[in-house]
Amino acid sequence: MADADPAFTKTQPADTAPVDTAPVERKSKRRKLLGGIAAAVLVAGAGYGGWYVLVGSHYVSTDNAYVGADTASVTPLVAAQVTEVRVGDTQRVRKGDILVQLDDSDARIAVAQAEADLAQARRQYGQTSATSAALAAQVGARDADIARARAQLVAAQADYDKARVDLDRRRKLAPAGAVSGDELTSATAAFSSARANLELARAGIAQANSTRGAATGQLAANNALINGTNVTNAPEVMVAQAKLAQAKLTLDRSVIRAPVDGIVTRRNVQVGQRVAPGTALMLIVPVDSLYVDANFKEAQLAKVKVGQPVSLTSDLYGGSVTYTGRVVGLSGGTGSSFALIPAQNATGNWIKVVQRVPVRVALDPKQLKDHPLRVGLSMDAEIDISGD
């Protein structure tokens, strides 16, 4: 057998091409990366959990908060024409500053009339007091009349008795002819005259008693008007004084003054305008006594109580200025319950909406003075509930 060709009988080497390890390295790097991310997440979660337990759970916060104020509405209490307006929008005023002057001509006349009525009432009281003295004197005079009438009655009674005795004597002597007819007639006439005078004296006493009774009644009626009173507390004088006080009050109300310190807003009154009681002339915003209404979610309110400290920041100044306040109250209901058109949840396709309750926060007046705010500005509020 012929020898094989060495070129063909030499053993061929195996395939020695290099193995591609890139996919394995990439998987390893991915596992390391995912492991690092997972570790970071766990660390972050643990850190957040620790922060929440130690710090975060002690606070509730919201950015749904706004500056508010109890604004004062300036309205007239009397109807009159405006003669002067001394302030304008954005102007700062102090309590008691004159804002608007109304025409006071009619009010001044009313004051003068009331003063005259008071003087007249005092004069009438003095006249009534003097009348009592005069009526007392009249009662004394009537007593004298009664005494005189009684004396006249005594005299008339004596004359009557004498005339009756004389008549009886003559009547007894007349049958014997000892007394003439003329003498008997004269005695009879004298007796009749004495009897008439007696009746007249008796009537005089009755009249004197009646006159005294009338004078006594007038005195009692007049005394009833002045007993227990003087020129200052007599009813008619007090009525006149009340009318004068009302007239002066109306005159004083013709000058409209600022009820509080603050800034004039929404001025809508002009000189020459006739205003009626209750007409809104302007608003005064007390910028030194503002508050914040922070609308917290219902799930945040479990531990919120009156008196807890609050930290606030305003969009006006940013985080560079922090206000400190305190919770002064929680609203009696959610914001939606007091809306003009409250939500009607009794429907077939009802969707639960997280409700918010307004929490009133009082601000520090000194901080407001250093960094003024305005009504309606946005605030961020954070309540420290750790004191629960």
Per-run averaged pLDDT (10 residues), the chain, 388 residues: 46 52 71 79 75 65 94 95 95 96 96 95 81 73 78 83 80 71 78 84 81 75 71 85 96 96 94 94 94 94 92 92 94 80 69 88 93 94 84
Cα 191 versus chain centre, distance: 88
Tell me the CATH class for 72-105+250-284: mainly beta
Neighbours of 84 (CB within 10 A): 12
The pLDDT score that the predictor gives to residue 245 is: 96
Cα 133 versus chain centre, distance: 48
Which homologous superfamily is 59-70+285-384 in? Efflux pump adaptor protein, beta barrel domain (2.40.30.170)
The pLDDT score that the predictor gives to residue 357 is: 93
**Residue type (1 letter), 81:** Q
Task: Answer left, alpha or beta for residue 351, where phi above 0 means left and psi between -120 and 50 means alpha.
Answer: beta
Q: Are 160 and 197 in contact (CB under 8 A)?
A: yes
Q: Report the C-alpha dihedral over residues 119, 120, 126, 132, rounded to 10 degrees.
A: -160
Do the domains 59-70+285-384 and 72-105+250-284 sit in the same CATH topology, yes or no? no
The pLDDT score that the predictor gives to residue 179 is: 67
Question: Which has the closest alpha carbon to 74: 248, 373, 286, 289?
Answer: 286
- What does the domain layout of the chain look like in residue ranges? 59-70+285-384, 72-105+250-284, 107-248
The pLDDT score that the predictor gives to residue 85 is: 96
- What pTM does this model have? 0.64
| Alpha-carbon span 6 to 273, nearest angstrom | 131
Q: Which CATH number fits domain 107-248: 1.20.970.10, 1.10.287.620, 3.40.47.10, 3.90.1170.50?
A: 1.10.287.620
SS3 string of the chain? CCCCCHHHHCCCCCCCCCCCCHHHHHHHHHHHHHHHHHHHHHHHHHHHHHHHHHCHHHEEEEEEEEEECCCEEECCCCCEEEEEECCCCCCEECCCCEEEEECCHHHHHHHHHHHHHHHHHHHHHHHHHHHHHHHHHHHHHHHHHHHHHHHHHHHHHHHHHHHHHHHHHHHHHHHHCCCCHHHHHHHHHHHHHHHHHHHHHHHHHHHHHHHHHHHHHHHHHHHHHHCCCCCCCCHHHHHHHHHHHHHHHHHHCCEEECCCCEEEECCCCCCCCEECCCCCCEEEECCCCCEEEEEEEHHHCCCCCCCCEEEEEECCCEEEEEEEEEEEEECCCCCHHHCCCCCCCCCCCCCCCCCEEEEEEEECHHHHHHCCCCCCCEEEEEEECCCC
| Alpha-carbon span 264 to 72, nearest angstrom | 10
